[in-house]
Every structure is written in structure tokens, then in C-alpha cells.
Structure 1
Amino acid sequence: MAIQSLLDIGKSGILAQRLALEVTSENITNVNTPGYSRQTTVFQTGIVTEEREFPLGTGVKVAEIQRAYDDFLQTQLKTEGSTSGWSSTVLNAMKRAEQLFNEFTADGLGKSMQEFFSSWQDLTANPQGQPERQAVLARAQQLVDQFHRINSYLTDIKRESNQSLEGITSDINNDLTRIASLNDQIKMIEIRGARANELRDQRDLLVRQLSEKVGITYLEDTDGSINVSLTLGQPLVLGNKAATLSLEPDAANNGFYKIMAASPGGNTSVDISTIAGGPGNTQGTLGGTLQVRDSLVNGFLSDLDELASTLATEVNSLHSAGFGLNSSTGLDFFTAPAATAGYSGLGGIDLAITKTADIAAANTDPATGGTGNNLNARAIAGIYDKVLATSGGTMTMEGFYNSLVGKVGVAVQDSERKSTLSEGIMKQLENLRESQSGVSLDEELANLIKYQKAYEGAAKLINVGTEMLDTVLGLIR
């Protein structure tokens, strides 16, 4: 082997070990970088030549810088991220709704209903008593206020959920734009035969972050770019082009936003509200927000409206048939429900009478039947325990309210269970990713020493070659 070959081999060793030291340094400095995957220097022997009929290598070269990456694990993190985003969003909203039906407080709707019908029961003991009659009106007003309060708070949850879509869609658009940009950069680098490991890490992290906001699928193309779509098919990223989400008021849904998506590189927009987060679609914060706004809270409001409408209808039917102290009759106690929907809110249930004399406690006209009749008050007081036909089956007023409280509790428990389960799975997946792709400082420091010694050995080899060359040159002189 010629001395020049010895020097070339030493040179290849210095270059290869220096690159390995740079890769190790990159790993160490990015030990706390989110989404970073450990990189490994893969060495390969140089071209084999024949020296005096013996095959000898010509040194070492770096075959590739390999990224510790598991595509299956990335897919699992993406899928579970969507579930985690949905469950946490729904849980936060359901916990807020649960506070409205906390019957351990003294001012709950259930307590107000009991006190309202109890005031009618108290009135039966003294049908002409002004304090008792004033108590009926006061308890009735408290009950109306409770219906209005809960309706307003539930409506606020819907309104705030709708408002939060502005921030969610803005974040999604930002992620889509960045993924498309990284696609372009990765393609330009890898078309030359290199591997854009750091850029791929950044893109993978963006995909996981995007999946927490909306359910997606992705597929890698042969040029290294990925195409991203909604779970049900609407394209979001095609190569270096990204879709743009926008919000438009929907007159058919009380002016709440519908989500429009312009196709990547195009101007045509389609409504993706249903496929992005329709009922039953547990996909990301976007899906959870739409489900809270358009499904879950609406179910509670519907039951609340039915309870208010049923209570008012039952009380009005008896009250309008009775007589007040001033012989008034045919008067509704509550405003008559024109429609069930929205009746529990402002502009719906309210008191239809304001005078204590108009409270129809008797079932006969006091002018002809005397003033001591309390039969109508007794009948109204008995409504609380009367079995009624409701959308949930035949049950009492109290039973229907308890079923509503139960629905809220079940929704909280269900979202809490899913959130806890998803959180545990995500933690396991993150730990698994860290064990496979994360940086171990102990391992990297050991590699640092190994490559440093190899670098010193290659440098020593060059020194030996230089000394041999000097010896030869000295013989010539």
C-alpha cells in the first residue's frame, strides 16, 4: 500500500469521525427539544481495492445519518392525540354544565321547584292569607329566575364554544401552512439524496399537534412530502399547498359559525362542519367544540325547555279553571308556552299574574261559594307528585328533573373517563417514543468519547504516514 493511500485512509477516518462527533453534538444539544429524534451515524467501509493480490479497503465513509423513527408509533400518537383533544374539550364544558345542577347548593332548580309547590301546600292552610299568597308569587319568581339562569348559562357555553372556533381554526391554518412549507423544504433537500432529519422531526411534531385539534390521516409521497386529509377524506395538505379554513355565520344554526375549507391550491370552499366534528365524531378540539355546541348542550336545553313547558302547562290548566279572591278566573299563572323550544329562557317562562288576589286557590267563585275553598291550591300542590307523560317516559316532575341531572352527570363521567384513559395512553406512547427516539445523555457522552478516540487514532495514522514520507524523502536527500 502506498504512503499516499495510508494518508487517504487517515483522512477518511478524520472526516467520518468528525461528522460523527457533529451528529453526537446535535443529539446532546437537542436533548430537550420537543419532537427531536435521536440521530445515529452509520459507517461503511470504503471501496475495496486489490493490493498485492489482497483485497484492502480504502478507509471509512458515512453511509447515512439515521433517524430513530417509528412510523407506527407516530400514527398511534396522532390517533390518540385526536381523542385526547376531544375528551379534554368536552370535559371542560361538561364540568361547567354540571355546576348548574349541583343540588348540594341551596339555590338549585330542584330546590326551587320543591319550594314553589310547597308554597301552594302552605296556601291550602290559609287560602285568604296575604303572606301565603305573597310567598307563592315570590317562590314562583325564584323558580322562573332559576330556569332563566340555567338556560342563559348553557347558552353561554354554546356561545363561547362557537367563539373558540376562531382560535382553533386559526391554529389549524397555521399548522397546515407550516406542514406544506416543510414538505417543500424536505423535498428540495432529499431530491439531492440527503436526509432532512431535523425538518422531518419538525413536521412530525406539527402533525401530532394538528391531530389534537382535528381528526386527520396522512400519507407520505415518494418525494418525501406528506398529504394530509380529514379523517373522512377532505384534503388539507397536498405537497406544498395547504387548505385554508374559514368561518361563516350559519343562519340555519342561530348564526353560529359553519366551517368552510378551501381546497389546497384552489378557491372552492366546502362546508366541513359535519365531517370535522359532527355528532359522534370524537376527533380533536374542533370536533369536541362542535359536539358541545351542536349536540350535548342542546340536549340539556331541550330537557330544560320541556320541564319548564310541562310545569307551566300543568299549573296553568288548573289555575285558569280556579278563582281568585276577586272572583278572577281563566287566568294563566305562567305565560303560556307558544313553543317548547326556548321556553326556559328569557322571553319564555314568566309570571302571568302580579296580584296576590289573582291567585286561584279556590275551585269556586268566592262571591257565590265562599272564601274558604282551597281545593284548587291543593290540586296545584299535587302536581309535583303527579305522574306525567314526558319524552323520557312516564314520571313525576321531580323524576324528570332528576333524569336531566343524571344525563349531565353521565356526560361528565363519560368525558372524564375518556380523558383519563386517553391521558394514560398518551403518557405511555410518549414514554415509548422517548425510549426509542429520545436522546440519552449517558449514551451520547459515551459515543462522544468513542468518536473522539477514533478521531485521535485517525490523526495518529496521518502522523505515522507523514513520518514515513519524511523518512523516504530523507533517503533521497
Structure 2
Amino acid sequence: MPGLNASLYLGLSGLQAQQSALNVVGQNIANVNTPGYTRQRADLTTNFSQVEGQVYFGTGVSLTSVQGIRDRFLDLQIYRETAKQTGAQERYTGLNAIAGSLADTGSSGIAAQIQAFFQGVQDLSAQPENAALRANLINKAQGMVSSMKSRYQLLDDQRNSADQSVRSLVTEVNTLTKQIANLNQSIMTEATPGANNGARDQRKALTDKLAELVGISVFEGAKGEYQITLDSGAGVLVNGTSSYDLSTSAGGALDGKSSVMLGGTFDVTGGIKEGALGAKLDLRDTILPGFQKQLDELAAGITSQVNLLNRSGYAPGGAAPTGTDFFRGSVANDANGLPTSLSPSAANPYKGMVAALAVNAAVVANPSLIATAGAPVPPAVTAAVGDNRNAKAMASLQTSGNSGLGGVVLGSPYASVVGTLVSDVGNAVQTWDTNATAQQNLVLALQNQRDSISGVNLDEEASSMMTLQRGYQASARFISVINQLTDQLVNQFGK
């Protein structure tokens, strides 16, 4: 059977194990208020038994590892829902910035300016020969055009702002993925599994931040390393010790805005749906262009019908139709100051209509080109000075809308078209505000659940400390007893 020396080492192993475990408790208590700290647990394992004859005798206890207490599946949930929460919040913020202007019901709002334009047409129809009313109509038309342009420009400004954010967010993503890959290196090369809990805590905090920027899926490998992919499966951001950069490439996305490339080769713009980056791409490429499309269609609806009537109508006393458009698409300039034209697409066949819109310079210079009169009866004579048939037809467009552009919206009265735009913006703001609040509550609940598992509970640590203290005292007492027995043997046989 083992001798007293073996018993002494057995007691010593217990003493050392309890002391090591107490150090872990002390580490937990010291970091009770450290953000992102994960509670640690000392894993004690009985040593291999020693065989004496046919009898197995214990050889004590060892500290095998210090494990961070984590729920990996809960972490994955938090990453996923965090991306949705920041995505919803960024969409709400972007929409809220333009809602007030698009929904303006004051005198400078689109609805009021359209009303003022058609009121000007109505006033002129009552006195078609009145030069002051012709000038007033031109002024009201310019006000309506200006109102549409300012709202359209606001949407363009927000899209440009979103594009700038895309570029900066891509840089942030790359910084985080590089840091995570470096921490993977430290974790994969640790001597004892779970030994580098500090690196794991840092990696968890960085992954939390990454999830705020972009939707991700996270997989943990056999050596504790993370593999991180875009949640859509569009590409890998981190694979063990390697990270793969995102970059922006101008000209590949809508309207020449930045495409997001992975590894400089693969266009993953359409595969980024959540997080701040996904929200900025959605605002830039889908949500805001949708409202611009509605403005383009509104402008196209008004101008096409007014122009049709003005071209076919007669000036007072005229012998032939004016053949003149009331509105004309002015030549727009690109960022380099070069002339551009309308750029219709399948998604928006009237794209650029508002940007190119203006009152015809010929009409501004010669208000008599406003065709207030209808075709003379019989055709051989000139239009009467007081003829207001064409002006009344123009005025009726306000409530009748038009059906010449093939859309349900464009066939509605223009007040209804503007109302639909305002309603769409308001509904989108409300929807994303509600989603952001709901996601925030969900993420908070998940984080509280994670804290209850991974966070430090001082009551639990105090209980563990008392248990370990008793274990330490018992081991010390055991060593003391063995020491006394050893002394007795030495004293007895040493004489």
C-alpha cells in the first residue's frame, strides 16, 4: 500500500487544487463589473489511481482546465437578432430624416404647390386674356417644379449619405474581422483547451460589434476557432486565422453607387441584408429610389398631360395650335458637370423626370404661348380671345388625373397620388420604428439571459468560496495529520 509520502502528496494535490479554484473565484469577483467578462469555472479531475497488488489507490486531484461559462447557441441568437435590430434602427433613422419634408402639408409642400399650380390654371381659365394671370401661372408652375426638385434632391442626398456610410462601414467590418482572425490564432495555439479565456472574451465582444454592422453566421471549429460567414451564405469573412476583406467598387451598383466586393472579386452587395451595412444598402438601392420613382411618375403624369393639351391648344386669337410644350425636360448635369439626359429603366421608366423638369423657357419668355383656347369652330377661323376651353381642360386634370402612362397611380387624381406617397413614407417610418423597438427588446432579453449564464453572480461566488475554503482547510488538516504520523515514526525509529 502507498506510504506516508504518497499520502502527503495526495493531500498536497488537494491543497493546490483548492487554491487554484479559489484563484478562479477571485478572478470572477475581481471582474464582476468588467464589461464582456465571462464567468470562469475551475474543472477539477481525480488523478489516475495507483495500483498496489490488486488494489487501486487514489493519487489526488488536478486542475485540468479553467472554462468560460458560455451558451454558444445563445451567442448565435444574439448575433442574428442584433443584426436585425441595428438594421431596423438604421432604416428607421434614414426614413425619419426625409419623412417630414415629403409629408409637408404646409404651403411649401408638394401637395400645396400642385394645388397652387392648378388654381393658377383655374384662375386663368376665367380670364384667358389676362397677362398678369399668365405670369402668375408660370410662377406657380415654377414653384411646383421647385418643390418636387427639392424633395427629389433630399432623397438623392440621403442616398449619397448612405453610400458614404457603406464605404466607412466596410472599413469597420474589415478591422473587426482582422482582429477576430488574430484572436483565433491565439486561441488555436493555446497549450490547454480553454486556457485563453481572455482572448475568447475579446473575440466575443468583437463579434458582437461585427453583428451590429452586418448579418453573420458563426461556426466554432474543433480548436475553438471561429468561422464567420455572411448570413446569406454569400461569402466567408473569417476562416480560422485568415480574414477576407470587403471592398467597395464604384459603378457596379445602382446609379453608379458603390458595389460591395468580397476579396476584390465577388460582388456580395445583394447578399448583405441585415446590420447597419445591410440597412444602408437597402436605403440606397431600394427604399429611397422607390420614393423617387413615385415622384418621377407624379411629375411625368402632370407634365405629359399638360404638354399634350398645350401643344394641341391655341393661344388667344391664334390661327393654329401652339405646338409648344408647357414643361420641358431641362438638361441635367452629372457630378463632373457633363450634360446628361433622362435614364429610364425597367424599374423606373420615368427615372430622372423630376431632375430634368422645368417650365419651358419659350413659355417663360412669351406667356402668350400658354394655350388657353380650344380649336376654332369652324376650323378656318382664329380662336376667340375669350375662349377658355383648353384652360378648363387643363384645370380638370387636377381631379381626373390621367390614364396615359399606364399605371394605376398615374390614373388617379394628383392629390391622391401625393397622398399615397405621404402615406407610404409614414407607414415605412412606423413599420421600421416598431420593428426596431421589438428587436431591441428581444436583444435585451437575450443579453439578460446570457448574463444570467455567463455573468458573475456574487452570491454564487461567495458560496463557492466557502466550499473551497473548507476543502482547503480539510486538505491542510490532512497534511498536518500525515506530518504528525511522520514525526512519530521518525522519533520512534530514530532513537
Counterpart secondary structure, 2:237:
strand
User: 5+ residue gaps in structure 2?
Assistant: 331-340, 343-349
CA deviation digits over 1:189-232, x for unaligned, max 9?
05x55543332233233333323322222332223222222232
Alignment of 1:223-234 (within 5 A): 223-230=223-230, 231-234=232-235
State the distance in 2 between where 1:222 and 1:103 align.
Answer: 58
Cα distance in 1 for residues equivalent to 2:68 and 2:193:
15
Structure 2 SS opposite 1:349: strand
1:272 aligned residue: 268
Report the Cα offset of residue 188 of structure 1. 0.5
CA separation of 1:274 and 1:194: change in aligned 2, threshold 3 A: closer
Give the whole-Å Cα distance in 1 for the aligned partners of 2:382 and 2:217.
Answer: 79
Q: Distance in 2 between matches of 1:316 and 1:134?
A: 17
1:265 paired residue number: none
For 2:336, the equivalent position in structure 1 comes to: none
Query: Structure 1 residues 292, 25: CA separation in 2 closer, same or farther (over 3 Å shift)?
Result: same
Residue 303 of structure 1 aligns with which residue? 294
SS of residue in 2 equivalent to 1:343: coil
Give the corresponding residue for 1:334. Answer: 327
Q: How does 1:217-256 map to 2 (within 5 A)?
A: 217-230=217-230, 231-250=232-251, 253-256=254-257
CA distance, structure 1, for counterparts of residue 113 and residue 25 of structure 2: 69
Query: What residue number does 1:373 align with?
Result: 387
Alignment match of 2:418 (pick from 369, 384, 401): 401
Corresponding position: 1:344 with 2:354: yes
What is the percent sequence identity of the aligned residues?
30
- Paired with 1:459 and 1:106, the residues of 2 have a C-alpha distance of 88
Give the number of aligned pairs. 464
Query: Distance in 2 between the 1:223 and 1:443 partners?
Result: 30
Find 1:426's aligned residue among 423, 436, 443. 443
Q: By how many angstroms is 1:162 displaced?
A: 0.7
Query: 1:10: how far off?
Result: 3.1
Are the structure 2 counterparts of residues 420 and 351 from structure 1 closer, same or farther at C-alpha, using a change threshold of 3 Å? farther
**Residue identity opposite 2:109 in structure 1:** G
The one-letter amino acid of 1:380's match is M
Structure 1 pair 15/83, CA: closer, same or farther in 2 (3 Å)? Answer: same
The 8 Å contact of residues 312 and 349 in structure 1, kept in 2 or not, is answered as no
Task: Kindly indicate whether the alpha-carbon contact (under 8 Å) linking 2:105 and 2:112 is maintained by their aligned counterparts in 1.
Answer: no
Instruction: State the match for 2:431 in structure 1.
Output: 414
2:373 maps to what in 1?
362
Q: Give the alignment's Cα RMSD to 1 decimal.
A: 2.8
Q: Identify unmatched segments of 5+ residues in structure 1.
A: 263-267, 277-281
TM-score by length of 2: 0.85
Query: Which residue of structure 1 aligns with residue 209 of structure 2?
Result: 209
Measure, in 1, the Cα distance between the counterparts of 2:248 and 2:274: 19
Could you say if the C-alpha distance between residues 256 and 416 of structure 1 is closer, same or farther in structure 2, counting changes exceeding 3 Å?
Answer: same
Q: Which of 138-147 and 57-66 deviates more?
A: 57-66
Q: Distance in 1 between matches of 2:480 and 2:107?
A: 90
TM-score (norm 1): 0.88
* Alignment of structure 1 residues 46-85 onto 2, 5 Å: 46-49=47-50, 56-85=57-86
Q: What are the Cα deviations for residues 316-343 of structure 1, in whole angstroms up to 9, with x where unaligned?
A: 1112333446859333221158742111
Deviation at 1:301, TM superposition (A): 0.9
Going from structure 1 to structure 2, the CA distance change for 1:351 and 1:424 (only over 3 Å counts) comes to farther
**Structure 1 position 2, deviation (Å):** 4.1
Paired with 1:200 and 1:38, the residues of 2 have a C-alpha distance of 12
Q: Is the 8 A contact 1:140 1:351 kept in 2?
A: no
